[in-house]
Amino acid sequence: MKLPLEGAIDCDVHLSVPNVATLLPYMSDYWSDQLVTRYIDRAGFNLTSYPPRSPLTVRDDWRAAPGRPTGLAALQADVLDPGRLSGAICHTMHGAMALFNEDMGAEFCKAINAWVAKEWLDREPRLRASILVHAQNPALAVEEIERCAADKRFVAVLLPVMGDSPLGRRIYWPIYEACERHGLSLAVHAGSTYRNPPTAAGWPSYQSEDYMLQSSAFENLIVGFLAEGVFQKFPGLKLVCMESGFTWMPTFLWRTSKTWRGVRTEVPWLDRVPAEIIREHVRLTLQPVDAPRDPKILNKIFEQIACDDMIVYSSDYPHGHFDGDNGLPEGLSPELLRKIAIDNPRAAFPRLATVDAPDTKETV
Amino acid sequence: MTRHVVAKARDIAPGSSQIVEVGGREIGVFNVAGDYYALANRCPHAGADLCKGFITGLALSDGPNKYRLERKGEFLRCPFHGWEFEIRTGQSWCDPKSMRVRQFKVDVAPGETLVKGPYVAESFPVKVEEEYIVIDI
Ligand code: FES
């Protein structure tokens, strides 16, 4: 089964760097030499959040196999063509995000962004991508944003939801300032650099806990953005939560809005009810849909979110969350499906305006 | 409507308040910069003794990490959950459209006019030379 409508935009498609050797041509002589002579090029650089054999990492029928296309051809055959997509936004969650050496981290990000542009964006006009940055040093992250921003095919800046500190803190604001200035959305993706335990109470025993509790990290993220006043400071900023789930949103809207009335004097810049600010600035990707299959329940959740602009289509390819080619859930109205698949992505990522004119690679 | 004499005006100085009982109900009488206001001592949210909360101002901001307090003495903070109410209007600051405290009409009257009656003064005698807070219910 195909997507029920043509021209959708898939906001969360994953690219994985096959190995470090792939990136060496995109690095300076110094770093390329360092990685080789220190045998770092042999390390996998896979984040622990994605165990290689888990279906959550790659769906079974999307795994490499004899006769299966690979790389870009696989992405075209699995997602772009059967989905009749007009565009897809690629994100490269890479172990470089977790490096403590921020110079090496920044070099990796630079190489990965260059690799994405050359190996993917240059070869497939429907693709767009996020800029990978190493958030530990916001000044270096901003340098990388400035370097890539001229290429309009980069539509967002990518950060993992759990890093050194809560992302709302002022230390990260230069990154958001750069996003706002360049019209880049902020794509915050599930995942951790494991500087801190993935649960607020400490280290869990199992990967399942880590995975299930990702949504709570997104609640932390949004509360932090509200309380720190990020949206007041950067009114043009769009925050897109990637792979966050969304069925927790109704209770979250109620809880933040109710509590605000009693505690707002501590953060007086929070001058509107939080639900309103969230509905204006925060977007969530569709997959993984964490609701039961019953369309009545799903529609109820949309009714409670009370904002048809909030959810943007994603397949989360190649992670396995659904069977077949249709990542859109059953039972939603055609109007809502159209918003989720087409209108909302375009509003959440203003740089997608160039999607239908893919050859216009402008410079600022 | 009965006129209830509830307090001596000079016993409620600017910035202060007093809770009085009128016909079995508790009412907070507030002096905001010389003007008197009367509010039910019952929070419209969950029934707390609202008038026992802090009399405060309004915390405002021109953006993150900018703080200022304005309209000092014009707001009441509920002791239960901290909701703020404007003393002049009884309106909730966060939800002015649908949340407000019951207000009562309050007057300051010279004892001279009151002694002619009729009025109810539950706990003290009215003297010609004093001014009094009068609530009509
Ligand atoms: S009872 Fe007054 S705020 Fe809840």
Spell out the domain ranges in chain A: 9-354
For A159-215, write each residue's pLDDT tens digit. Answer: 999 999 999 999 999 999 999 999 999 999 999 999 999 998 999 999 889 999 999
Query: The domain spanning residue B114 has which CATH number?
Result: 2.102.10.10
Closest atom, ligand 1, to C-alpha of B83 = 3
pLDDT category, A325, cuts 50, 70, 90?
Answer: confident
Ligand 1: does its nearest atom lie under 6 Å from the Cβ of B83? yes
- Give pLDDT, residue A2: 66
User: Do the chains contact at B95 and A271, CB–CB below 8 Å?
Assistant: no
Q: Mean pLDDT, to the nearest integer, of A272-294? A: 95
> A360 pLDDT exceeds 90?
no
- Tell me if chain A has a CB within 8 Å of the CB of B86: no
When mean pLDDT is compared across A116-120, A247-251, A316-320, the lowest value belongs to A316-320
B13 CB within 6 A, ligand 1: no
Reported as a single tens digit per residue, the pLDDT across A128-157 is 999 999 999 999 999 999 999 999 999 999
Q: Which residue in the set A260, A264, A269 is minimally distant from B64, CB to CB?
A: A269
Mean pLDDT by 10 residues, chain B (137 residues): 90 96 93 96 96 97 96 97 96 94 94 78 77 91
B46 Cβ closer than 6 Å to some ligand 1 atom: yes
- Determine contact: A170 vs chain B, CB below 8 A: yes
Domain count, chain B: 1
Q: How many C-beta neighbours within 10 Å does residue B1 have? A: 6
CB contact under 8 A, B63 and A268: no
**pLDDT of A283:** 98
Out of A263, A268, A271, whose CB is closest to B67? A268
Query: Does residue A296 sit at the B interface (CB-CB below 8 Å)?
Result: no
The CA A217 to ligand 1 mean position distance, Å, reads 30
Domain interval for residue B15: 3-136
Asked whether B8 lines ligand 1 (CB < 6 A), one says: no
Looking at domain A9-354, its CATH class is alpha beta
Q: Is B45 in the pocket of ligand 1 (CB under 6 A)?
A: yes
Is A265 a residue whose pLDDT tops 70? yes
**Interchain contact B98–A (C-beta under 8 A):** no
